[in-house]
Amino acid sequence: MATKAETIAQPQGPPKRRLRNFLLDTRFQLKYTGMVVAATVVVATVLGYFAYDYSRGQTEALTIQMAMQPELHPDVAADLEGWAEAKDTEVLIAIVIGILALAVTLGFTGIVVTHKVVGPAYKLRRLLGDVADGHYRIEGRLRKGDELQNVFEAYERMVVALRDRQKEEILQLDAALEKASRAGVPDNALADIVEVRDRMQASLEA
């Protein structure tokens, strides 16, 4: 069997990463990312509610405790109550900002992660189209960190096998044409077979 070096074009150096649109399959990527973000936001909101409720509970407990101390100066009580309410507000703001930051971070991460799946799938779909058109060559490689590496390797082995099989068939056609020529078959009678043979050879060199 022919080696990969003989059958598949090797790229010059590692593939370069370029700034590109990460939304190759907008519907799938946004759907997946949206589901992850929505589920996380719901959980974070519930946990944030309990945290804020606990903070409010502490404020109410402080208010009750101050009410049970009549000797406490009203100005001091008002300051303590204001301080407690300010802390409640800080907790609420921190929860909201945290949820928003988490949503943005997960959204960006989800798009990047799905790009590592959609990108290779897009490339494999295009390469399969090339095979369907009769072109048995692989241009480029998946980038380091992309998913579907095993699928790409299986595709590569398939193309190598197809090329080897086609090479054997071309050799068989060459032998048959030579035999027919020696038997005195006119060239015009073999023209269609020669044309098929040339197309098969061209698909290996395209």
Cα-only R_g, the chain: 35
* Structural domain boundaries in the chain: 23-133, 135-206
Contacts of 177 (CB under 8 A, 6+ apart): 190, 193, 194, 197
Which of 64-78, 87-101, 146-160, 169-183 has the weakest average pLDDT? 64-78
For 18-69, the pLDDT digits (tens) are: 435 677 777 888 888 899 999 999 999 999 999 999 998 988 888 888 778 8
For 143-159, the pLDDT digits (tens) are: 777 878 888 888 888 88
What percent of the chain shows pLDDT beyond 90? 19
Which alpha helices (DSSP H) does the chain contain, by range?
4-7, 26-67, 74-132, 149-182, 191-205
Choose among 88, 154, 151, 100: nearest CA to 121: 151
The whole-number average pLDDT for the span 107-115 is 86
Phi-psi region of 3 (alpha: psi -120 to 50; beta: other; left: phi over 0): beta
Q: Say if residue 9's pLDDT is above 70.
A: no
Note whether 107 and 38 are within 8 A (CB): no
pLDDT of residue 71: 80
Q: Say if residue 122's pLDDT is above 70.
A: yes
d(CA 136, CA 169): 14
Name the DSSP class of 2. -
Name the DSSP class of 138. -
pLDDT of residue 10: 43
